[in-house]
Amino acid sequence: MKDRNIALITGANGKTGSRVAARLMQLQYPVRLAGRTKPGNSEGADYVFFDWYDESTHAQALMNVGKIYLVVPVLDVNPAKVMIPFIEKALSAGVQRFVLLGSASVPEDGPVFGPVHQALRRLAPEWAVLQPSYFMENFTEGQHVGTIKNNKAIYSATRNGRIGFVSADDIAEVGVRALIDDKPHNTAHVITGPQSLTYDEVAELIGKSTVQPIQHISLSDEELKAGMVHAGMPEEYADMLAGLDRRIRENGSEDQVTDTVKLVTGRCPVSFEQFVLSHGNSWKTS
């Protein structure tokens, strides 16, 4: 295998980046992990310090790389300003294939991920954009796990809006295929689990696992935004996230189920019931 086949994984500490990297290493595919902190499970792996906003970290990251998994910088509502110049630099260095982690809530002409999506379609010879629904892991590794354990509650401004929650493992498997399949995908993949659920239904399923009631508490957009800002999130980013909940509530923006996981990977996506059964320890308080 030529050195140019090295896959650079940005966001290597993240929910999908860590899983994409682990799966590629399992397949004995050459991987370089990139981020501002070294992943804890990366012993013996090729790791480089990488900062989107520090161009001096880019050249080493790109050395002998042929494919890149792109994860936008955290809490930046305009990541295109740093990502598109990096993509252009990568193309000049010989990178052929790019896989971007986007969102099912954000179309190609939308904010945040949209301009990067458009740039890949325009510039990259081989590309794919992953557009997953909300992560199941938000309840075990993300913002909801603490409120479930401490308050027996899930907070959102979605009310009865439905979401096609999907496992990060399934997202990562689609990402791996997009990175290493012989034929480039050259498309956007909307990735969901096998059913769409309300947060009320999610709370009931988790409550059955914990054998104690879990509530879904509906917030106003302003309350949701204020809570995120209080937790340290920049106001502009909190406003964007609150807007996503509003679209789920008012427009059903996440109420969809696709067969992407099955078509791309050959396996069925994990259901939320299966996810809860395999993560029951996540919500124990002692």
- Residues 43-75: pLDDT tens digits? 668 999 999 999 999 999 999 999 999 999 999
Reported as a pLDDT band with limits 50, 70 and 90, residue 2 is very low
Does position 12 have pLDDT exceeding 90, yes or no?
yes
The share of the chain scoring above pLDDT 90, in percent, equals 93
> For position 1, what pLDDT does the model report?
38
Reported as a pLDDT band with limits 50, 70 and 90, residue 41 is low
What CATH topology corresponds to 136-165+193-253+270-286? Answer: UDP-galactose 4-epimerase; domain 1 (3.90.25)
From the candidate CATH numbers 3.40.50.720, 3.40.920.10, 3.30.428.10, 2.40.37.10, the one assigned to the domain spanning 3-132: 3.40.50.720
Reported as a pLDDT band with limits 50, 70 and 90, residue 39 is confident
- Domain boundaries along the sequence of the chain: 3-132, 136-165+193-253+270-286
Contact 48, 9 (CB under 8 A): no
pLDDT in tens, 184-203: 999 999 999 999 999 999 99
Contact 119, 82 (CB under 8 A): no
∠ Cα 75 80 82 (to 5°)? 85
> Across residues 244-265, what is the average pLDDT?
98
Tell me which residue of 53, 91, 98, 95 sits closest to 73, measured CA to CA: 53
> For position 285, what pLDDT does the model report?
79
Whole-model pTM: value is 0.96
User: How many Å apart are CA 243 and CA 34, to the nearest integer?
Assistant: 31
Output the CA–CA distances (angstroms, integers) from residue 275 to 21, 65, 193, 202, 226, in the order listed: 21, 34, 11, 11, 30
Does position 38 have pLDDT exceeding 90, yes or no?
no
> For position 3, what pLDDT does the model report?
56
Handedness of CA 133, 138, 139, 144 (dihedral sign): negative
